[in-house]
Amino acid sequence: MLSADEILDVVERDVRLSFGGTFPPVGDGFRLLAVDGIDFAFAVRDIPEADVSFVSWEYQCEHLGAMRCTEGTDAAGDPRLFIEQEPEPVEEAHDVGTMLPPTGRPVTIVGTTVVLSRDAAEVADPVLLRFIDWSRVFSQLGYAWDYGRVIA
Amino acid sequence: MPYHFEKGPTWQVFDTFFSGADRIKAKLFVLESLWTEPRFTGFVDSFAKLPANLPLPTAPYGSGIITLADLIEHANAHWFGLPTKIGGNPASSDGYDEYDPTSSTATGFWKNWRGDAERVVRMAFIRAIEVSLGLRHPAGAYDPLTPPAQPPIPPPTSGDAITHLYADHEDPSGSPYAPTLDDAASQTSAQLATRFARNWPIEFWWLCGPRYFQASVTWRRKRLPGDPTAQNPEPPSGQPRSASDDSGRVNVVFITPGATSHVIFHDLEHPPENPPVGPRHPGGAEHAIDPARSEDRFGSWIVGHRFTESDHGGSHEPSHAGECPCPIQQWKGTGRVVTVQPRYEDGGVLLHTPY
């Protein structure tokens, strides 16, 4: 079982590792999400003994690196593409593997991370599930998800 | 509209307007209306001035649009976002609210797009008609919907807008032209054709599904003597200009977002689902997979993977710290490459026309 501080630490560390290379923080960058007086970290603080915790956060940053994907294996052992932590500088906008060449725009990424620490292995290396508002991220970058035609 | 690209009954109406035997009259009345009427569809009212020998388009079959009035209402409500038809003659432009640029809702029936679709369509028509007649676009012309920042050419205080806007038109060959609407109704198409450098047919297509609302206007003229790449020059110029001038062609393609009410097949081999609304039009293309013949005068095929599917992946798959899965949203084509000939009512073409 992780303590509240450990949960908060792993979530913040994950955000900084995952996005810091592509989206360096503006100032401190990371903070727990609080909207209109509602503290979304309540689950962490109110249920510290839970082996499943939820942390909502936001990360203020700038899009200065290329967003690229790299192959890896997820917690279930399945092959998956992950965001590169330290992407190489982009030589050309359409370098192979580049999802998004840097736009230089300020971005706020908002997400909720589910932290699993159900056994000793997960306590040692927690499993994370991230629910991120990618639509909002891409909108800030000037891109858009494809809300095209319905396919029958 | 089960495919992304179509002509179909709706655009066949405009083809008929601008490619038929009396197309020069239709062009002139529509062009005049586009410069002077507050609504794009105001050109319908000008048809009352036309002589009876101008063939109005036949009612477009299929797609739920049966009459010209249906087409006007469809254009105003669905394409331009003028949702309220308060009353009046359904074939008139009266009674529709204007597009509100401050609204955050999507315009008309377009998915996730808002903007002044009517103004885009209006300018595409103006440009296409000008190209087809060899007219140069008047710089600084007034805009009947939104005045530009620069002082515009004022609207005419008397007479018609065509005479006013194109009076200083100068044909490259030096031949004098006098573009005017003044007495167009009393002139034959052959007489009117002598006032313009050319009178090419215009045809229309619709590409539905991109994120933006735009129009492309393209044209092709036959080679003339003196053209830099003319290897097989056409007969010398100076031939009498003709009402049925076919020395070139203008193509207009409207490129629009997806429409709320439309669903497309993910399987190009999907058979047509719904029977056409109204009577079948004789001469309309029939649905065919991998068609062989191309002997008909007009044709329209779509070539692509048989299947088109969405491939989505979020960041919620379980992983460890610092391993954030990439968000993925893309389309993928799978299966063999197939060629489909859409049925006329599904966006295909008339295989032959009188013009």
Residues of B in contact with A86 (CB under 8 A): none
> What angle in degrees, to the nearest 10, is found between the helix axes of B23-36 and B8-19?
100
Q: What is the mean pLDDT of residues B263-287?
A: 79
Q: What is the mean pLDDT of residues A133-139?
A: 89
Interface touch B325/A148, C-beta < 8 Å: no
Residues B31, B38: Cα–Cα separation, whole Å: 13
pLDDT reading at B276 higher than 80: no
The per-residue pLDDT for A107 is: 96
Task: Please answer whether residues B195 and B242 qualify as being in contact, where contact means their C-beta atoms are separated by less than 8 angstroms.
Answer: no
Give the pLDDT band (50/70/90) at residue B335. Answer: very high
* Mean pLDDT (chain B, rounded): 79
Give the pLDDT band (50/70/90) at residue B235. Answer: very low
B115 CB contacts (<8 Å, ≥6 apart)?
A: B101, B107, B213
pLDDT above 90 as % of chain B: 25
- Looking at mean pLDDT, say which of A132-146, B50-64, B202-216, B278-292 comes out highest: B202-216
Q: What is the mean pLDDT of residues B172-194?
A: 79
The two structure tokens encoding residue B275: 């029977």
The per-residue pLDDT for B87 is: 47
A109, A118, A149: which to substitute to probe chain B, counting the most B Cβ within 10 Å?
Answer: A149
Lowest mean pLDDT across B89-93, B226-230, B318-322: B89-93
Task: Please answer whether residues B318 and A130 qualify as being in contact, where contact means their C-beta atoms are separated by less than 8 angstroms.
Answer: no
* Mean pLDDT (chain A, rounded): 83
Residue of A nearest to B265 (CA): A152
- For residue A104, give the amino acid letter: G
The per-residue pLDDT for B88 is: 44
Could you tell me which residues of chain A have a Cβ less than 8 Å from any Cβ in chain B?
Answer: 10, 13-14, 17-19, 69, 72, 74-76, 78, 80-83, 85, 99, 111, 116, 125-132, 134, 144-152
Give, in order, the Cα–Cα distances in Å from A135 to each of A111, B25, B131, B313, B314. 11, 50, 41, 13, 11
Q: Is the ipTM beyond the 0.95 threshold?
A: no
Q: What is the mean pLDDT of residues B231-249?
A: 65
Q: What is the mean pLDDT of residues B154-175?
A: 75
Residue of B nearest to A127 (CA): B320
Interface touch B321/A10, C-beta < 8 Å: yes
**Residues B103-129: pLDDT tens digits?**
667 788 887 788 889 889 999 999 999
The per-residue pLDDT for B239 is: 52
Query: Tokens 């038929």 sit at which residue?
Result: B20
Q: Say which residue, B110 or B249, is predicted with more confidence.
A: B249
Residues of A in contact with B265 (CB under 8 A): 151-152
- ∠ CA A13-A19-A21, nearest 5°, is 110
**Residues A51-71: pLDDT tens digits?**
888 889 999 999 998 888 888
Interface touch B325/A134, C-beta < 8 Å: no
The per-residue pLDDT for B97 is: 53
Q: What is the mean pLDDT of residues B227-235?
A: 58
Record the pTM.
0.78
* Count of CB atoms situated within 10 Å of the CB of B74: 19
B190 strand-pairing partners: none
Residues B273, B343: Cα–Cα separation, whole Å: 11
Query: Which H/E stretch holds residue A59?
Result: strand A52-62
Q: Which of B315, B319, B324 is nearest residue A75 as measured by Cβ atoms?
A: B319
Interface touch A152/B328, C-beta < 8 Å: no
Residues B180, B134: Cα–Cα separation, whole Å: 13
Q: Which of B112, B211, B322 is nearest residue A18 as measured by Cβ atoms?
A: B322
The per-residue pLDDT for B101 is: 66
Q: State the SS3 of chain B.
A: CCCCEECHHHHHHHHHHHHCCCHHHHHHHHHHHHHHCCCHHHHHHHHHHCCCCCCCCCCCCCCCCCCHHHHHHHHHHHHCCCCCECCCCCCCCCCECCCCCCCCCCCCCECCCCCCHHHHHHHHHHHHHHHHHCCCCCCCECCCCCCCCCCCECCCCCCCHHHHHCCCCCCCCCCCCCCCCCCHHHCCHHHHHCCCCCCCCEEEEEEECCCCCEEEEEEEECCCCCCCCCCCCCCCCCCCCCCCCCCEEEEEEEEECCECCCEECCECCCCCCCCCCCCCCCCECCCEECCCCCCCCCCCCEEEEEEEEEEEECCCCCECCCCCECCEEEEEEEEEEEEEECCHHHCCCECCCCC
Q: Which of B208, B257, B264 is nearest residue A152 as measured by Cβ atoms?
A: B264
**Residues A81-131: pLDDT tens digits?**
888 888 777 665 555 566 778 889 999 999 999 999 989 999 999 999 999
Lowest mean pLDDT across B38-47, B115-124, B208-217: B38-47
The per-residue pLDDT for A114 is: 93
Residue of B nearest to A149 (CA): B258
pLDDT reading at B173 higher than 70: no
Q: What is the mean pLDDT of residues B230-259?
A: 74
B274 touches chain A (CB under 8 A): no
Give the pLDDT band (50/70/90) at residue A151. Answer: low
Q: Which of B209, B210, B324 is nearest residue A130 as measured by Cβ atoms?
A: B324
pLDDT above 70 as % of chain A: 82
Q: Which of B208, B209, B320 is nearest residue A127 as measured by Cβ atoms?
A: B320
